A and B are shown apart, each in its own frame.
Chain A
Amino acid sequence: MSAETTSADATASDVRLYDVDNPAPVIEPPRKRTKKTGRASRGNFEMQAWLFMRLSGIVLVVLVLGHLLIQLVLDGGVSKIGFAFVAGRWASPFWQVWDLLMLWLAMLHGANGLRTVINDYAQRDNTRFWLKMLLYTATVFTVLLGTLVIFTFDPNIS
């Protein structure tokens, strides 16, 4: 029987930084649970966000696949898309509602997904906060800009 040791004790003989009375810091995981945590409830928000992801996902399958089909496959595919094509579609309230719904659902679905990713992976509270602020700003900007364009679109713009 042989013990092949590449032991930590080998280094200990040179300079002993740590000993019984002066142990090294233990290896802690990020954001440990303590007695004090676990009380910060946020009502039903997490449940609603979870439900929203499932429901918006189902609706988005129809909206996005329909959108891709109309834009890229039917009637000559991508080559037909131009200012006139967009103006023609947005003349109808049906396509306005379709695009508006798709914009809102896709943006909120994606933003909520990224929010959970940030929550899962950002370890420091500060990093998490600022990443989420950046995400929310970008989401609000995109949603508002898109909504503005859909409702104020002028087909006779010069």
Chain B
Amino acid sequence: MATPTLDKAAEAGQPEPGFADSPYITVTFRIRRFNPEVSEEASWQDFQLEIDPKERVLDALHKIKWELDGSLTFRRSCAHGICGSDAMRINGRNRLACKTLIKDINPEKPITVEAIKGLTVLKDLVVDMEPFFQAYRDVMPFLITTGNEPTRERRQSAEDRERFDDTTKCILCAACTSSCPVFWNDGQYFGPAAIVNAHRFIFDSRDEGGEQRLEILNDKDGVWRCRTTFNCSEACPRGIEVTKAIQEVKRALITRRF
């Protein structure tokens, strides 16, 4: 309970009505609720609250959970855009609730918040991430080497490090994978996040498991199912060029053979 956001939300919870230049505005949050212990149907529920538009969507969710309806369920850990717990579909786009300011998503209209798509909804905004992490594990996201372990660190030039820099930024929030229309229709597809994390090791000069990973991604549910719709690049809260990474893996697969 001792998170910084708590204090922030507690302060924000005391709007002074009648105060002339109050920063607070009334915002409607339309949240997709699902509780299997009550109903098999998911439904929209509206919450109205006074909130500073410079606050984040996560602050609003906290406020709803702590002051209006304690049964609202969602994931968040660090609340500062690093842990990747609170990816959700806000106004129809996958974003991190902790990185989305209310003023940036048109608070005049009701702001819709729902669980990310393509994964089993367990309750409200919480989904079963297991298939997502299974795909991640399947690409072997760890350093694979042969020979004796060096007595000191494995050296790498700045250029070699730069080669895969973009894909090291992934926080595994599943915003990309759950924005992919191929993944929505067929969860067998590895999905952008798994490919990004394979890319991170395939193009690492210190790693020797690239061939194995490429073989895994050459599968019928691997990179060739990508339709380059760029939803993943648009959804990534870390600004990773996801589609570009997928295309680089495709190119590596082709140039490896011919």
User: Are A12 and B39 touching (Cβ within 8 A)?
Assistant: yes
User: Are A27 and B42 touching (Cβ within 8 A)?
Assistant: yes
Contacts of A157 in B (CB 8 A): none
Q: A29-B120, A41-B220 are in contact. Are A9 and B185 (CB under 8 A)?
A: no
Nearest chain A residue, comparing its CB with the CB of B51:
A1
- B187 contacts the other chain (CB 8 A): yes
- Which one of A11, A30, A35, A46 lies within 8 Å of B39 (CB-CB)? A11
Contacts of A29 in B (CB 8 A): 117-120, 184, 187
User: Are A6 and B46 touching (Cβ within 8 A)?
Assistant: yes
Contacts of A127 in B (CB 8 A): none
Contacts of B184 in A (CB 8 A): 29
Contacts of A152 in B (CB 8 A): none
Nearest chain B residue, comparing its CB with the CB of A44:
B218
Contacts of A25 in B (CB 8 A): 36, 40
CB distance from B218 to the nearest CB of A (A): 6
Q: How many A-B residue pairs have CB under 8 A?
A: 138
- A45 contacts the other chain (CB 8 A): yes
Q: Quick check: which of B154-162, B199-207, B221-229, B230-238 contacts chain A, the rest being far away? A: B221-229
Contacts of B241 in A (CB 8 A): none
- B89 contacts the other chain (CB 8 A): no
- Which one of A1, A31, A40 lies within 8 Å of B50 (CB-CB)? A1
Q: How large is the interface on A (under 10, 10 to 19, 20 to 34, 35 or more residues)?
A: 35 or more
Contacts of B45 in A (CB 8 A): 5-8
Contacts of B131 in A (CB 8 A): 32-34
Q: A33-B134, A46-B224 are in contact. Are A8 and B35 (CB under 8 A)?
A: yes
Nearest chain B residue, comparing its CB with the CB of A5:
B45
User: Are A51 and B37 touching (Cβ within 8 A)?
Assistant: no
- Interchain CA distance A121-B182 in the complex, whole Å: 8
Interface residue ranges of A16-32 to B (CB < 8 Å): 17-20, 23-32
User: Are B135 and A38 touching (Cβ within 8 A)?
Assistant: yes
Q: List 29 A-B contacts (CB under 8 A).
A: A1-B49, A5-B46, A6-B43, A8-B43, A11-B39, A12-B39, A18-B38, A24-B37, A24-B38, A27-B120, A28-B120, A31-B185, A33-B135, A37-B221, A38-B190, A38-B221, A40-B219, A40-B220, A40-B221, A42-B219, A42-B220, A45-B220, A46-B219, A46-B220, A47-B254, A47-B257, A50-B224, A120-B185, A120-B186
Residues of A bordering B, CB below 8 Å = 1-9, 11-12, 17-20, 23-35, 37-38, 40-42, 44-47, 49-51, 116, 119-121, 123
Interface contacts beyond A12-B38, A42-B219, A44-B218: sample of 18 additional A-B pairs, CB < 8 Å, sorted by A:
A1-B49, A4-B28, A4-B47, A4-B48, A8-B39, A9-B38, A24-B40, A27-B121, A28-B120, A29-B120, A33-B135, A33-B187, A41-B219, A46-B222, A50-B250, A116-B225, A119-B186, A120-B225
